């Protein structure tokens, strides 16, 4: 039995969507495909070699497809988790000073400007 090509193609696209974009530039899906990273090249070569294997190893191929689908689900869940953490813990990445200042503003108070000995004239 040959591996289900549409299922593998769909899985490959889902993997590409879940890969992090490079921080230097925001890349669109078209740019990801026209200049793939090393990881994307490796995934593509692995998937293309699996689809051209002999039909006797279809059980192994199905197992690998299921593992890849589980990986995609895991990565999607991690992305959702990070989004929810940011949404419900907005002060998580703040310094202690910033957190105190925002807490004071929340109850209607403004903290006084602190004097700095450097004398940069405020």
Task: Establish if 120 belongs to a structural domain.
Answer: no
Does the predicted TM-score (pTM) go above 0.85? Answer: no
Task: Establish if 115 belongs to a structural domain.
Answer: no
- For residue 95, give its domain range: 5-107
Share of the chain above pLDDT 90, in %: 8
> For the chain, what is the domain count?
1
Task: Establish if 87 belongs to a structural domain.
Answer: yes
How far is the C-alpha of 34 from the C-alpha of 117, rounded, in Å? 54
Tokens of 96: 């202690």
Q: What does the pLDDT average to over 5-23?
A: 79
Task: Establish if 53 belongs to a structural domain.
Answer: yes
Task: Establish if 21 belongs to a structural domain.
Answer: yes
| Sequence-distant (≥ 6) Cβ neighbours of residue 34 within 8 angstroms | none
How far is the C-alpha of 54 from the C-alpha of 1, rounded, in Å? 9
Task: Establish if 112 belongs to a structural domain.
Answer: no
Task: Please tell me the predicted confidence (pLDDT) of residue 2.
Answer: 58
């Amino acid at each position: 039995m040959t591996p289900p090509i549409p299922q593998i193609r769909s899985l490959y696209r889902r993997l590409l969507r879940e890969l992090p974009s490079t921080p230097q530039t925001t890349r669109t899906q078209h740019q990801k495909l026209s200049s793939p990273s090393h990881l994307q090249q490796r995934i593509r070569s692995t998937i293309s070699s699996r689809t051209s294997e002999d039909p006797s190893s279809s059980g192994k191929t199905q197992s690998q497809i299921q593992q890849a689908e589980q990986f995609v689900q895991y990565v999607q869940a991690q992305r959702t988790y990070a989004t929810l953490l940011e949404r419900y813990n907005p002060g998580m990445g703040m310094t202690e000073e910033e957190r105190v200042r925002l807490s004071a503003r929340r109850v209607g108070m403004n903290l006084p400007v602190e004097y700095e000995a450097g004398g940069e004239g405020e």
